[in-house]
Chains A and B, each alone.
Chain A
């Protein structure tokens, strides 16, 4: 299977690998996927007082496309408001990385990870 240059680049040099303290009030964590399906993504966002995502990081268990998809979205969400970040669509991710049809689910998972991280953050700040 041939990978696109962009997938290879993110895979070889993944951006923003890491972990934020889950107890931090400013952090939202999204973990999606399942080991049995072959991919698990953990995406974390750090949100400032203005509601802007200041920082993001990830760890992913999965194929090269899954790693690249999560690496890419950590770059994309940075600087965005929560609402703007929630607008990121899997099709944009797939297009940017030139994912083949069998790998579209990786971009879907990345979109789900963003949404999960945002809702985790919102849940922390309810009331």
Chain B
């Protein structure tokens, strides 16, 4: 089986697992306990906080651990929902951001979308022009989960800051793949997840400018400086910490490797499947992501066929993959519904090889031929 769905989730790095295991077994203390086992857990918690902070150039005290990216996005938005105002989010945000945004809309917030261009990049002029006195909060993801398109976060943050508007960025897909610098970006809130960077599922973080007031989502217990109640998930947090550290240290070499593999993939596609349309190919993308469509072919069908070949792909966001609707991201980019129906996402990981790419392209060619043959036969 070849796994090419790393934007959905990644396997746990064996080094991370090794670091986590003692915390599942012998070192099981509750960090709020004052005895030796509790203090040991507390020390591990604080080390992980430093490691996560370092990945995005933040101060450890700015890191709030959560149960994952979804909770981080919920906390970022609802934590700032003191009194209704205007909330503006980009048109290509993840469901975990749109969910709380819509919940706030039901509570009386005005929710507006910031448009993107045909490459899936925020239309920054239109975005800035749309800001007004009512705008309280802007959310723009660092990089898109489907297209991989990297967004002009710092530029937008500067415009927000000069107008006194708080800005959040969902960096779940970007962190660990490209440099993310919280301190210099100008955003005040940043969401992170462990399981997209070879850490465990069930843990994430919200990085928060300390001067920012934040309403907790989970009340009780007073953990995380009263901003997130609940016993800390120490094994997972330890895993997140190490995964973040490894991502930081290995980022240059990982991105070189991924760019190399992606180059190979796109070159082969150009030669062997020239009809394939690669989305966002004209702008800076995450080095691991290729989002493409083959005109006239249904993406879901192609993916199922590839799965039988032993190659795991997806048609886009895992969170939307239950519904058989075309990607909202592509819709926002103005991609025709027919073409969007054909979309498949290839997201590479640090352990993929050249052979994986070659097998993928060979598999795609075979399946595309078969499916087109079937389509032709049906049409006949």
Contacts and interface: CB of A to CB of B under 8 A. Distances in A.
User: Chain A interface secondary structure, helix, strand, loop or mixed?
Assistant: loop
B331 to A, nearest CB: 56
A1 B42 CA distance: 10
Contacts of B34: 1
Contacts of B39: 1-2
Nearest to B39: A2
Range class of the A interface residue count: under 10
A1 B31 CA distance: 11
Contacts of A1: 34, 39
Nearest to A2: B39
Nearest to B38: A1
A1 B39 CA distance: 7
Interface in B26-47: 34, 39
Nearest to A1: B34
A4 to B, nearest CB: 15
Interface in B289-336: none
Contacts of A2: 39
B262 to A, nearest CB: 50
A1 B34 CA distance: 6
A106 B161 CA distance: 46
A2 B43 CA distance: 12
B185 to A, nearest CB: 34
A109 B34 CA distance: 24
A1 B32 CA distance: 10
Nearest to B34: A1
A35 to B, nearest CB: 22
B288 to A, nearest CB: 44
Interface string A1-37: 1100000000000000000000000000000000000
A2 B34 CA distance: 9
A107 B39 CA distance: 25
B222 to A, nearest CB: 15
Interface in A46-71: none
Which 3 A-B residue pairs are closest in the complex by CB-CB distance? A1-B34, A2-B39, A1-B39
3 contacts: A1-B34, A1-B39, A2-B39
